[in-house]
Amino acid sequence: MKPQHTQWFGVILILVSFVVGLILLVMSAGVLHDVAPSWASAIVLWVGLGLPETGLGVWLVQKGFRDETIGETLERFATLLEERGEIGVEEAAAELRVASVDIAESIEILSRHDPPSALMDPSTSTIVTPRSVPFAQAVLLILRGRDQATLEMLSEATGIDSDRIIAVLEDMTMAGKFLGQIDLSRGIVYTKKRRTPVKSVSSCPSCNRELPWPLKEGMQKACPFCAAIIFREKGPELE
């Protein structure tokens, strides 16, 4: 829903709640024929029937204004970051003349896009674009805070082909810098290792490479190529 629609919906709810209050007052006056009891009765009824609508209406109006502000900030911030490639939160807020919290919210939105166009680098406390930093660092920053990401999205964000991304992640896995798992068959990078149960195995079910060692029943080992956790179940081998 557009911010303007959210605001108008909130205004309508507020007006409806006041109309409900007026109707209740008229009805109470007609029954009780006394001003004080009529007002008291109408207020009690309105608290139960009209007040929730008023509260929701006020919240929607505020949300509409907030979404409108963030939308404007988001567009201006995205343009600024694209020009700079790297910028600090406070610096961006000062240049755009907005609150730091608006910049932080914009970063959160842009970082969740597929592909993301803004990433927070915790080592320097700056916001960067995926292509303004070394692509190995960009891949790790994109995966940070995600459960998984497709190789296609990582390639689109960094401008690096999938084979190069796989090679870099495998090198970082062997160096202990990346503790996730690559599923080549599905083209997905997981940020955490997932145990793949099998009944018999001669090659990794994740990357399909032949394993250099046998996997006995009940044994669990990490694939030396893609770091997938392979667990051989106990029981008869599959035909």
Which token pair is 210? 């032949």
Return residue ranges of the chain for CATH 1.10.10.10. Answer: 135-232
The mean pLDDT value of the chain amounts to 77
Q: What is the C-alpha separation between 128 and 88, in angstroms, rounded?
A: 9
Residue 238 predicted with pLDDT over 50: no
Residues 166 and 174 sit within 8 Å (Cβ to Cβ): no
Q: Per-residue pLDDT tens for 17-56?
A: 777 767 766 666 555 455 455 556 656 666 666 677 777 8
**Whole-number Cα distances in Å, 234 to 197, 210, 212, 227:** 10, 21, 21, 22
- The hierarchical CATH code for the domain 135-232 is 1.10.10.10
